[in-house]
Structure 1
Amino acid sequence: MYKINQKAVVLVFFLQLVVGGIWYASTPTALLGRSILEDASEQPSIIMAVLFVLSVLVYLLFTAWLLVRIKGMSGPERFFLVIAIWFFIVLPNYIFVSMQLNFSEVDVFYLLSYSAINCAIAAIILPLWRSSRSIFKT
């Protein structure tokens, strides 16, 4: 039985955090109403940063766990499964955010772009770098 490849999960997690930092640093001024470098008191709190990191980790661990539980699928099929998870779970938020927050299409696209990049990173690395089998049952 295959187990979750912890090395792959750690690699994907750090790549997603790096992309998250770049994504936040490139936030359009129109979306925030200010430049990222202005007014440090308006920066996200530590609690929000921790919640962000935890949400990325939980979603990644769920995806890795799901890929381990799926039997009889090849690497490309697992890739498309991760992409399908994003389409059917995350993408519907586009409609909700558009309707409830009155953001422009560009702003909504920017907000959801981070999850799309995270999904692509996970879809490329997790299905293709599977954990090795152990001859010892634990």
Structure 2
Amino acid sequence: MNKINMKAILLVFFLQLAVGVAWYASMPASLSAGSLLGDGLSQPPVNIVLLVACAAFVYVFFSAWLLVKTRGKSSAGGFFLVIGTWLFAVLPNFVFIAVHLNMNSSDALYLLSFGAISALLAAIILPLWPSSRLIFKS
């Protein structure tokens, strides 16, 4: 039985946090006015940061668990599984929110960009770095 590679999960998680900091710092002015996240220049509230960090970790852990449970013969299959999960599960929710909140296309694209980059990081690293198997069980 394959096990989940926690080193790969932590690497993807910390890379996503680094991308999230850059993503937050480049927030457009149209989204920063009156948002819960602040203005993009000041620090966001701690509870929002913890919520986003927890959501990112759960997403990476779920992706790794899904890859272990549906282990295919190639890394390309794992890549397409993670990208497909984002395309068919996460993307429709963002589109619904953008339409419901009546956002313009640049703001919706900005909101989608973090999820796309996070999914791409997970899709590249997790399938290529599977957990090592133990030959002897203790």
TM over 0.5: yes
Which structure has more relative contact order (CA 8 Å, sep 6+)? It is 1
* Normalised TM-score (structure 1): 0.90
Moved more, 118-127 or 99-108: 99-108
Counterpart in the other structure of 1:28:
28
1:67-106 matches, cutoff 5 A: 67-106=67-106
Q: How many residues align?
A: 134
Q: Residues of 1 paired with 2:95 and 2:30: CA distance?
A: 20
Amino acid at match of 2:103: F
Task: Give the match for residue 132 of structure 1.
Answer: 132
Q: Which whole-Å CA distance do the structure 2 matches of 1:106 and 1:96 have between them?
A: 15
**How big is the shift at 1:35?**
4.8
CA distance in 1, matches of 2:32, 2:126: 33
Determine the structure 2 residue equivalent to 1:109. Answer: 109
Q: Distance in 2 between matches of 1:13 and 1:44?
A: 19
Partner Cα separation in structure 1 for residue 92 and residue 55 of structure 2: 18
RMSD: 1.6
For residues 33-59 of structure 1, the C-alpha deviation after alignment (integer angstroms, 9 at most, x for no partner) is 28522xx4xx43111111110000011
The letter of the residue matching 1:104 is N
Whole-angstrom distance in 1 between the partners of 2:135 and 2:105 = 52
Q: How far off its partner does 1:72 sit?
A: 3.2
Q: Which runs of 5+ in 1 are unaligned?
A: none
Whole-Å separation in 2 of the counterparts to 1:127 and 1:24: 28
- Which runs of at least 4 in structure 1 moved beyond 6 Å after TM superposition? none
Q: Secondary structure at the match of 1:57?
A: helix
Letter in 1 for 2:109: F
| Larger displacement relative to structure 2 (26-35 or 55-64) | 26-35
| Cα distance in structure 2, aligned partners of 1:45 and 1:35 | 11
Identity of aligned residues (%): 52
Counterpart of 2:127 in 1: which secondary structure?
Answer: coil
| CA-CA distance at 1:122 after TM superposition | 0.3
1:13 corresponds in structure 2 to 13
